[in-house]
Amino acid sequence: MVREANRFFVLTGGPGSGKSSLIDALARLGYARTVEAGRAIIQDEVDIGGNALPWADKGRFAALMLSWEMRSYRTAQEHSGPVFFDRGVPDVMAYLRLVNLPVPAHVIKAASEFRYNRSVFIAPPWKEIFHPDRERTQDFDEAIRTYESLAFTYTELGYELMELPRVSIDERVQYVLRTIAEAGFHV
């Protein structure tokens, strides 16, 4: 059974491209949102001395991200109106491809069953705002490769990519809200 939620909008992109800041701004306006799996998992695993980390056990890290994204999807169903996702289930497929691990059949099935609005917002690599931190240890070249893997994966799964402009957060918010309003959602 395919779970399709046209009111579920994914914001994705490589590390350091401003997508989480955009989702934070949308949340401040009262919109429902999810929390990025990767960053939260890294924080938790570091705090408990776990090894489900991208630099320790990429497969376990991906498994936790998949579980997180499916739970986020279920939790989002409790909200009415648009929900903004800081990444989605297809991001797990893109991550596995990026790190040259096989994409298991259950991940492919999850990506086909847990569906989002056909229009996916993708933040392009943006060198001027990119900076590594405790959880974001990738360099800018890896941010570019991540973007490419995400774009390929979402397109392959039948989504239409809406590239976010490289403008201020407020202008990005207006772009997103205008786009979903044009799709018939009250904003």
CATH of domain 3-182: 3.40.50.300
**First and final CA of the chain: distance in angstroms?**
29
- Stretches where the chain sits below pLDDT 70 are 1-4, 131-138, 187
Separation between Cα atoms, residue 94 and residue 13, nearest integer Å: 11
**pLDDT of amino acid 3:** 67
Token digits for 3? 């779970």
**pLDDT of amino acid 39:** 83
Rg, the chain, Cα only = 16
Separation between Cα atoms, residue 108 and residue 120, nearest integer Å: 18
Own/partner contacts of 48-51, CB < 8 Å, gap of 24 or more, are: none
Per-residue HEC secondary structure of the chain comes to: CCEECCCEEEEEECCCCCHHHHHHHHHHCCCEECCCHHHHHHHHHHHHCCCCCCCCCHHHHHHHHHHHHHHHHHHHCCCCCCEEEECCHHHHHHHHHHCCCCCCHHHHHHHHHEECCCEEEEECCCCCCCCCCCCCCCCHHHHHHHHHHHHHHHHHCCCEEEECCCCCHHHHHHHHHHHHHHCCCCC
**pLDDT of amino acid 142:** 84
**pLDDT of amino acid 139:** 78
For 23-54, the pLDDT digits (tens) are 999 999 999 999 988 888 988 999 999 999 98
